[in-house]
Amino acid sequence: MKNFGKNLKIQPKKRVLNEKDTFIDLIDIFDNCNNRTEELEGNFMFAISSYDEPFYIMIENLFLLHYGEWKTDIILWWVYDRFDEEGKISPIKLNDHDENSQEDVIVETPEQLWNFLKRIEKLKK
Protein backbone atom coordinates (compact mmCIF):
# COMPACT_ATOMS: atom_id res chain seq x y z
CA MET A 1 0.00 0.00 0.00
CA LYS A 2 3.06 2.27 -0.01
CA ASN A 3 2.41 3.43 -3.56
CA PHE A 4 -1.35 3.81 -3.17
CA GLY A 5 -2.38 7.06 -4.82
CA LYS A 6 1.11 7.73 -6.15
CA ASN A 7 -0.19 8.54 -9.62
CA LEU A 8 -3.40 10.16 -8.39
CA LYS A 9 -3.62 13.81 -9.29
CA ILE A 10 -6.43 15.80 -7.73
CA GLN A 11 -7.22 19.06 -9.42
CA PRO A 12 -9.28 21.64 -7.56
CA LYS A 13 -12.38 22.90 -9.35
CA LYS A 14 -11.68 26.02 -11.31
CA ARG A 15 -15.09 27.51 -10.70
CA VAL A 16 -18.01 26.97 -8.42
CA LEU A 17 -21.09 25.88 -10.33
CA ASN A 18 -24.53 27.15 -9.46
CA GLU A 19 -27.46 24.72 -9.26
CA LYS A 20 -28.46 25.23 -12.91
CA ASP A 21 -24.95 24.61 -14.25
CA THR A 22 -24.51 21.58 -11.99
CA PHE A 23 -27.87 20.17 -13.15
CA ILE A 24 -26.97 20.67 -16.81
CA ASP A 25 -23.58 18.98 -16.32
CA LEU A 26 -25.14 16.04 -14.43
CA ILE A 27 -27.88 15.48 -17.00
CA ASP A 28 -25.40 15.72 -19.85
CA ILE A 29 -23.08 13.15 -18.24
CA PHE A 30 -25.99 10.88 -17.28
CA ASP A 31 -27.41 11.03 -20.82
CA ASN A 32 -23.99 10.32 -22.37
CA CYS A 33 -23.50 7.31 -20.08
CA ASN A 34 -26.93 5.94 -21.00
CA ASN A 35 -26.20 6.45 -24.69
CA ARG A 36 -22.87 4.68 -24.30
CA THR A 37 -24.56 1.69 -22.65
CA GLU A 38 -27.21 1.50 -25.39
CA GLU A 39 -24.59 1.80 -28.13
CA LEU A 40 -22.38 -0.92 -26.67
CA GLU A 41 -25.34 -3.26 -26.31
CA GLY A 42 -27.03 -2.42 -29.60
CA ASN A 43 -24.07 -2.14 -31.95
CA PHE A 44 -21.46 -4.39 -30.37
CA MET A 45 -23.57 -6.89 -28.38
CA PHE A 46 -21.50 -5.99 -25.32
CA ALA A 47 -23.85 -6.52 -22.36
CA ILE A 48 -22.84 -3.74 -20.00
CA SER A 49 -26.25 -2.88 -18.51
CA SER A 50 -25.88 -5.41 -15.68
CA TYR A 51 -22.66 -3.62 -14.74
CA ASP A 52 -24.09 -0.10 -15.16
CA GLU A 53 -27.47 -0.69 -13.51
CA PRO A 54 -26.38 -0.10 -9.88
CA PHE A 55 -24.84 3.23 -10.92
CA TYR A 56 -28.04 4.27 -12.70
CA ILE A 57 -30.13 3.30 -9.67
CA MET A 58 -27.85 5.33 -7.43
CA ILE A 59 -28.10 8.37 -9.73
CA GLU A 60 -31.88 8.03 -10.02
CA ASN A 61 -32.25 7.83 -6.23
CA LEU A 62 -30.06 10.90 -5.73
CA PHE A 63 -32.25 12.81 -8.18
CA LEU A 64 -35.30 11.60 -6.26
CA LEU A 65 -33.85 12.78 -2.95
CA HIS A 66 -32.91 16.19 -4.31
CA TYR A 67 -35.64 17.02 -6.82
CA GLY A 68 -38.62 14.98 -5.62
CA GLU A 69 -40.81 12.49 -7.44
CA TRP A 70 -42.45 14.52 -10.22
CA LYS A 71 -39.23 16.25 -11.32
CA THR A 72 -37.32 12.96 -11.22
CA ASP A 73 -40.01 11.31 -13.36
CA ILE A 74 -39.56 14.02 -15.99
CA ILE A 75 -35.75 13.83 -15.80
CA LEU A 76 -35.77 10.05 -16.22
CA TRP A 77 -38.27 10.27 -19.08
CA TRP A 78 -35.96 12.77 -20.79
CA VAL A 79 -32.87 10.58 -20.38
CA TYR A 80 -34.44 7.20 -21.17
CA ASP A 81 -37.56 7.75 -23.28
CA ARG A 82 -37.56 11.13 -25.04
CA PHE A 83 -36.95 9.59 -28.48
CA ASP A 84 -39.73 7.82 -30.36
CA GLU A 85 -39.21 4.75 -32.59
CA GLU A 86 -38.15 6.99 -35.48
CA GLY A 87 -35.52 8.78 -33.39
CA LYS A 88 -37.47 12.03 -33.07
CA ILE A 89 -37.84 13.83 -29.76
CA SER A 90 -41.31 13.32 -28.33
CA PRO A 91 -43.04 16.40 -26.93
CA ILE A 92 -44.05 16.74 -23.30
CA LYS A 93 -47.70 17.66 -22.81
CA LEU A 94 -47.90 20.64 -20.49
CA ASN A 95 -51.33 21.13 -18.95
CA ASP A 96 -52.01 24.52 -17.38
CA HIS A 97 -55.13 23.88 -15.33
CA ASP A 98 -55.41 27.53 -14.24
CA GLU A 99 -55.74 28.72 -17.83
CA ASN A 100 -57.36 25.50 -19.06
CA SER A 101 -54.76 25.08 -21.79
CA GLN A 102 -52.51 22.34 -23.11
CA GLU A 103 -49.20 22.76 -24.92
CA ASP A 104 -46.72 20.35 -26.52
CA VAL A 105 -43.20 21.28 -25.43
CA ILE A 106 -40.10 19.93 -27.14
CA VAL A 107 -37.15 19.61 -24.74
CA GLU A 108 -33.94 18.95 -26.68
CA THR A 109 -31.14 19.95 -24.30
CA PRO A 110 -30.36 19.65 -20.59
CA GLU A 111 -30.70 23.44 -20.32
CA GLN A 112 -34.17 23.31 -21.88
CA LEU A 113 -35.01 20.52 -19.42
CA TRP A 114 -33.93 22.78 -16.53
CA ASN A 115 -36.05 25.64 -17.88
CA PHE A 116 -39.03 23.32 -18.37
CA LEU A 117 -38.82 22.06 -14.77
CA LYS A 118 -38.61 25.64 -13.50
CA ARG A 119 -41.62 26.58 -15.62
CA ILE A 120 -43.70 23.75 -14.15
CA GLU A 121 -42.49 24.65 -10.68
CA LYS A 122 -43.93 28.17 -11.16
CA LEU A 123 -47.24 26.75 -12.39
CA LYS A 124 -47.53 24.54 -9.32
CA LYS A 125 -47.26 27.55 -6.96
Tell whether the model's pLDDT for residue 1 goes beyond 60: no
- SS3 call for 114: helix
In a domain, 98, yes or no: yes
In a domain, 45, yes or no: yes
* Residue range(s) defining the domain that contains residue 25: 19-124
In a domain, 5, yes or no: no
| pTM score of the predicted model | 0.77
Summarize pLDDT for 78-120 with one digit per residue, the tens. 999 999 999 999 999 887 666 777 888 999 999 999 999 999 8
Task: Report how far residue 39's alpha carbon sits from residue 34's, in angstroms, rounded to the nearest whole number.
Answer: 9
Task: Report how far residue 27's alpha carbon sits from residue 50's, in angstroms, rounded to the nearest whole number.
Answer: 21
In a domain, 6, yes or no: no
Summarize pLDDT for 27-86 with one digit per residue, the tens. 999 999 988 888 887 777 777 777 788 899 999 999 999 999 999 999 999 999 999 999
In the chain, the number of structural domains is 1
In a domain, 58, yes or no: yes
Q: Which residues contact 101 (CB under 8 A, 6 or more apart)?
A: 95
Measured distance between the N- and C-terminal CA atoms of the chain, rounded to whole angstroms: 55
In a domain, 95, yes or no: yes
In a domain, 14, yes or no: no
In a domain, 12, yes or no: no
Contact 60, 72 (CB under 8 A): yes
Query: For the packed helices 19-44 and 49-67, what is the interaxial angle rounded to 10 degrees?
Result: 160
